[in-house]
Amino acid sequence: MVVLAIDPGSKKSGVALVSSDAGILRRAIVPVEKLKEYCREFVQGTAVDAVIVGGSTGSKAVCAAVSEALGVQPVTVDERYTTERAKMRYFSDNPPRGWRRWLPSGLLYPPVPFDDYAAVIMAEDYIESIIR
């Protein structure tokens, strides 16, 4: 199963293409105004089984844009706690260096946007809920 997941935001959105077999295929952070074009390019050559969008800030506009771009109606999903989980995942992939490695993880904040990690988490949760 391959899922396109979008973590919507007011200025930027996290986008991830995740496979149940191969894991993360692609992930990116995209300005909202370029989301339509980006989604078309992002999934090109890949058979996507589901398109999901987080149900918070800007989800209606993102759903409309994705529906127009891909010709499918995205499923809106609950994205509670994805930001916290995405932050932890970011630091798992990019461990703090220097003196920051001694700080408790709850005090750390990524130096770059990590919305794409939130999209990955939403996709993985969705795949897990379907496979169960």
Per residue in 80-120, pLDDT (tens digit) is 999 999 999 999 999 999 999 999 888 899 999 999 999 99
Two structure tokens written together for 54: 């987080």
Q: Which domains does the chain have, with CATH numbers?
A: 2-81+112-131 (3.30.420.40)
Q: Find out whether 54 and 35 touch, Cβ atoms under 8 Å.
A: no
Q: Name residues whose C-beta falls within 8 Å of residue 16's C-beta, 6 or more positions apart in sequence.
A: 4, 5, 24, 26, 27, 28, 116, 119, 120, 122, 123
Per residue in 18-64, pLDDT (tens digit) is 999 999 999 999 998 999 999 989 888 889 999 999 998 788 889 99
Q: Compute the distance between CA of residue 104 and CA of residue 12 in angstroms, rounded to an integer.
A: 28
0.85 exceeded by the pTM?
yes
